[in-house]
Amino acid sequence: MTAAETKMQFLYTLRSKGVTDNRTLLAMEKIDRGAFVRGLFAERAYEDMPLPISCGQTISQPSVVGLMTQALNVQPRDKVLEVGTGSGYQAAILSQLARRVYTIDRFSRLVREAQEVFNTLGIANITSFSADGSHGLPEQAPFDRIIVTAAAEDPPGPLLAQLRVGGIMVVPVGQSDTVQSLIKVTRLEKGFDYEELRAVRFVPLLEGIGQE
């Protein structure tokens, strides 16, 4: 298959799995997933499946990345927090939609490797940190959008507190060894609105800094 055919097939698969928002599809067309997959799995970068990356983590399957991005409904002036940098693929897509993206991971190696890819791709509106993502990034709060790419038992309180009124958080919720639910949380003037989107599987959200 030529590169163009591969890309067409990739976008067709995304649409067939429910990613229909044009801005999301355009961002996913612009950001090459292949840039974020190394070694043995590079040739499978355009398949709709999660793939292993460093530190025992995974790069999520593209359709899930697309559905989470679509649910966030990122606007051009938004400031977005991502908890769980991983390969950097999700942050790179968000960078095409938002004014600024802050991304945190507990593994400094993942942050370093992701930052190298951002630099190579010329993406300048992502700030990456190695830190305990379960605490969010209070010094930069409030955020218009928050995305969590690891599963928590409940939407984490510190992250909810860093969401501005009218803001949206997308987070997988559930016990790590069973199927989890992807939840969309909207902060209201008083309280939060919760919407269940679909079943997913993510690595668990862990506290502390990861040992490489």
pLDDT for res 212: 56
Which comes out higher in pLDDT, residue 38 or 91?
91
**Structure tokens given for 74:** 């990122």
| % residues pLDDT > 70 (the chain) | 94
Residue 60 is among the residues annotated as catalytic for this protein: yes
Token readout for 119 is 């630099």
Interval 68-110: pLDDT, tens:
999 999 999 999 999 999 999 999 999 999 999 999 999 999 9
- Mean pLDDT of all residues in the chain? 91
**Which region among 12-16, 87-91, 178-182, 208-212 has the lowest average model confidence (pLDDT)?**
208-212
Quickly count: other Cβ atoms within 10 Å of residue 153's Cβ. 12
Q: What is the pLDDT of residue 115?
A: 96
* Residue from 16, 60, 134, 181 carrying the catalytic annotation: 60
pLDDT classification of 207: cutoffs 50, 70, 90: low
pLDDT score of 100: 98
42 compared with 28, residue with greater pLDDT = 28
Report the DSSP pairing between strands 79-83 and 100-105.
Answer: parallel
Look at residue 176 in the predicted model and tell me its pLDDT.
Answer: 58
Q: Scan for tokens 């044009």, then name that residue.
A: 22
pLDDT bracket for residue 211 (50, 70, 90):
low
Helix (H) or strand (E) holding 207: none
d(CA 181, CA 179): 7
